[in-house]
C-alpha cells in the first residue's frame, strides 16, 4: 500500500532540490519546499504551484523552523564555488546552523533526515579514487574552507545527533552533478562551458585544464538519493553518489564544443586557490548497499543539458 509522506526539502528551489520536489510529488507524497532563493529561483518550481500537495515557503534555514514532517532532505546551501565564496560566513552558517535546526526538527518530529554532503569533504584528495573511509585533505583556512569545513561539521552533527539522540540519518557525499535547471550564471564548469559555447564566447578554462572531475547526470543522482533514503535503518553512510567516469576539463570542453557545434575557443585563466587536482568516486558501497549505479554517460547527459540551455537562452533572447 502506498503511504503518503510529508517531505521537507530545504533548498528545494535549487537545481537538485527542484528535481527532487518533482520526484517526490510524482511518488504521491506531500512536499514542503523551503528556500531563501539565495541561488535557487521561484521559476524552478513554478510548474508545481497549482499542485495541492506542494507548498513553497520562503525561509532561511539558519533560523529555526517549526513544521510537522515525516522525512527531511537537507539540501540548502549554495553549491557553486563563486556563490559559496560570495558570503563565506553565511555559507558556514547555512551548513552548520542549518544542520542544527534541521536535526533539532528531526529530533522533535522523529523524521528521517538526509544530508546532501559533498565530495569536497575530501578536499584536494591524495587518495584516488576517493573511498568513504578516506578522511580527506582539506585546507581549514582557504577560500573553499567555508564550504568544505561547513559540510564536514554538518556530517559531524548528523553522526552526533544519531549517537546522542538516536536519529535516523542518511548522509550522501555527492560528486559533481549537472543537468537542466542549473543556473546559467552559476559558474560551475558544465553550465559555464555550455552557455559559453552556445553564445560563441571563449571557454574559460582555469589552469591547464588537466585537472579532473567525474560528472553525474541529475536523474541518476536522485535515483541514488531515494535508494539511500529507503534503505534499511543501519545504512546511514556516508556514501558516495556520483559517476566514476573521469574527465579532464580539456576533454569536457572538447565534448561541449563538439556537441554544440560551436566555434568557441578555449581561453586559459588562472587556476583558483585550492582547486582540487583530481576527483573520482569509488562507488563500491553504493553498488553493494543500494544496488545503485549511474546509467547516463556524459555525452548523453550533456546533450540533454545543452538542449535545456539552448531553449532557455532562446527564450531569453540572449
Ligand atoms: P543550488 O545552489 O542550485 O541549490 C541550493 C539551494 O539552497 C538554492 O535553492 C538556495 O537558494 C538554497 N539556499 C541557500 N541558502 C539557504 C538558506 N540559508 N535557507 C534556505 N535555502 C537556502 O545547488 P545544488 O547543486 O542544487 O545543490 C544542492 C545541495 O547539494 C547543496 O547542499 C550542495 O552542497 C549539495 N551538492 C551538490 C553538488 C552538485 O554537483 N550539484 C555536489 C555536491 C554537493
Ligand atoms: N529546532 C527547530 N525546529 C524544531 C525543533 C528545533 O528549528 O522543530 C531548532 C532549535 O531552534 C534548536 C535546534 O533546532 O536551536 C536544535 O534543537 P535541539 O532540540 O537539538 O537543541 P536544543 O533546543 O536543546 O538546543
Ligand atoms: N572550471 C573551469 N572553468 C570554469 C569553471 C570551472 O575551468 O568556468 C574548472 C574549475 O577550476 C575546476 C573544475 O572546472 O577545476 C570544476 O569546477 P566547478 O566549479 O564546476 O566545481 P568544483 O568541482 O571545483 O567544486
Q: Is the pLDDT of residue 3 over 90?
A: no
* pLDDT, averaged across the chain: 97
- Whether 147 is catalytic: yes
Ligand 1 pocket member 95 (CB < 6 A): no
Contact criterion met (CB below 8 Å) for 273 and 144: yes
pLDDT in tens, 253-309: 999 999 999 999 999 999 999 999 999 999 999 999 999 999 999 999 999 999 999
Q: Which of 62, 64, 99 to mutate to test the pocket of ligand 2 (most atoms within 8 A of CB)?
A: 64
Mutation choice for ligand 3 from 199, 213, 214, CB with most ligand atoms inside 8 A: 213
- Kindly state if the Cβ of 37 falls inside 6 Å of ligand 1: yes
Output the CA 265–ligand 1 centroid distance in Å.
Answer: 31
Q: Looking at ligand 1, which residue's alpha carbon is closest to its atom 35?
A: 116
All structural domains of the chain? 6-177+217-242+281-294 (3.40.50.720)
**pLDDT tens by residue, 209-236:** 999 999 999 999 999 999 999 999 999 9
Q: What pTM, to 2 d.p., does this model score?
A: 0.97
Among 122, 147, 161, 178, the one annotated catalytic? 147
Residue whose CA is at the smallest distance from ligand 1 atom 17: 60
> How confident is the model at residue 317, as a pLDDT?
82
Please give the pLDDT value at position 72: 98
Task: Give me the pLDDT at residue 2, please.
Answer: 65
Amino acid at each position: 500500500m502506498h503511504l503518503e509522506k510529508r517531505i521537507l526539502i530545504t533548498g528545494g528551489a535549487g537545481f537538485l532540490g527542484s528535481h527532487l520536489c518533482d520526484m517526490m510529488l510524482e511518488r504521491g507524497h506531500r512536499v514542503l519546499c523551503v528556500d531563501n532563493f539565495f541561488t535557487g529561483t521561484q521559476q524552478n518550481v513554478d510548474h508545481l504551484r497549482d499542485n495541492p500537495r506542494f507548498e513553497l515557503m520562503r525561509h532561511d534555514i539558519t533560523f529555526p523552523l517549526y513544521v510537522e514532517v515525516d522525512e527531511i532532505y537537507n539540501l540548502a546551501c549554495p553549491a557553486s564555488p563563486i556563490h559559496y565564496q560570495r558570503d563565506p560566513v553565511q555559507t558556514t552558517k547555512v551548513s552548520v546552523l542549518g544542520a542544527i535546526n534541521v536535526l533539532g526538527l528531526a529530533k522533535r518530529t522523529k523524521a528521517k533526515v538526509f544530508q546532501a554532503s559533498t565530495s569536497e569533504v575530501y578536499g584536494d584528495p591524495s587518495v584516488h579514487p576517493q573511498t568513504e573511509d578516506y578522511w580527506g585533505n582539506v585546507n581549514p583556512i582557504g577560500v573553499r574552507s567555508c564550504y568544505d569545513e561547513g559540510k564536514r561539521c554538518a556530517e559531524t552533527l548528523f553522526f552526533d545527533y544519531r549517537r546522542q539522540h538516536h536519529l535516523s540519518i542518511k548522509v550522501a557525499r555527492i560528486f559533481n552533478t549537472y543537468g537542466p535547471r542549473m543556473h546559467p550564471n552559476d559558474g560551475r564548469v558544465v553550465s559555464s562551458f555550455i552557455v559559453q559555447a552556445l553564445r560563441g564566447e571563449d571557454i574559460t578554462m582555469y589552469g591547464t585544464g588537466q585537472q579532473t572531475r567525474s560528472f553525474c547526470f541529475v536523474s541518476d543522482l536522485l535515483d541514488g538519493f531515494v535508494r539511500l533514503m529507503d534503505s534499511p535503518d543501519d545504512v546511514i553512510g556516508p556514501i558516495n553518489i556520483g559517476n566514476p567516469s573521469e574527465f579532464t576539463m580539456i576533454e569536457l570542453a572538447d565534448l561541449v564544443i563538439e556537441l554544440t557545434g560551436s566555434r568557441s575557443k578555449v581561453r586559459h585563466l588562472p587556476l583558483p586557490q585550492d582547486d582540487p587536482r583530481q576527483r573520482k568516486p569509488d562507488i563500491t558501497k553504493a553498488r553493494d548497499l543500494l544496488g545503485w549505479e549511474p546509467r547516463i554517460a556524459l555525452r548523453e547527459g550533456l546533450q540533454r543539458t545543452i538542449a535545456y540551455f539552448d531553449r532557455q537562452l532562446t527564450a531569453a533572447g540572449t
